[in-house]
Structure 1
Amino acid sequence: MAERNLGTAMSSRGESLLFLTDEQLRRGIEAMFFAYRGFTADPDRILQEYGYGRAHHRAIHFINRTPGTTVNNLLSILGVTKQSLNRVLRTLVEDGLVESRVGTRDKRERHLYLTETGQTLERNLSEAQRARMRAAFREAGPEAVAGFRAVLEQMMDPDMRRHYRDGTESGQ
């Protein structure tokens, strides 16, 4: 009997989530905006010391995630123009945070790696975000964490979801 009641409660709770009002969706959107603001606040302070912005952070993050990634793969992941990425990469290379190596099979390719200095900055940026996420996840609990991840994955475009799930160079 308790099993059936739990199933009914879960079913009705799930069904009510399928019919969110515009106001509930607006509140969810606002929550995302404010959470993103908090999520980026600590790294933004660190980046400011270097004269860098969030584009630099994203590049550093994904180069660290996949050492040797190509410029074209990074373009695909970040969804920015080649000109914009080149500006960011030029700064990171000139400042000694990223190393660009010519491809061994295709000389036109550039493979990107973080230097020791780049790895140190990436650790500082990531630790600030991990601390915030760790505290939020701990407070929310495991079911909320699983639900949060599921919602985020469903919001991703399919090609980005593949990049996220696979964590591979090609994202296939």
Structure 2
Amino acid sequence: MLKRGDKAPNFVLQNQDGVDVGLNDLLGKKLIVYFYPKDNTSGCTLEAQDFSGLLKDFESCGANIVGISPDSVQSHKKFIQNKQLKVMLLSDTSKSVSTSYGAYGEKRMYGKVVQGIIRSTFIIDEGGEILEAFYNVKAKEHAKKVLQRLIEIQEERV
């Protein structure tokens, strides 16, 4: 698991339009990276819609948002279109990036231990340092909690 002060693992993944996007392309502003299990499921839709709804608030704090899941580029494109999402989604079909962030591994689902995406979010600074890591989060109200923590971090740095 990553923690505050760690360097964010580098990555290059395709976005919903099939364009390669790397961590280095996204740095220079604060970055919210959230990992979620699956497009078009209830919790993941709620989380993506909440991040989309708060996008202007995140932007006013100088932050971009990107969601990452194992879904295909085509699935992401449909998800964005069907749910009117405003955030970029990246396809990690190999789960290698999710693994490097500690967002893939053992988790409990319906009382059983399974391998899967661990819903996780990271606040990364302009230079690629982890400012905050959230693991095993609940989708409901999570985007608001991340925004609040981002605001607190900014106040701490003043």
Q: TM-score, normalised by structure 2?
A: 0.31
Higher relative contact order (CA 8 A, sep 6+): 2
Structure having the larger proportion of residues in strand: 2
Q: TM-score, normalised by structure 1?
A: 0.29
**Max Rg structure:** 1
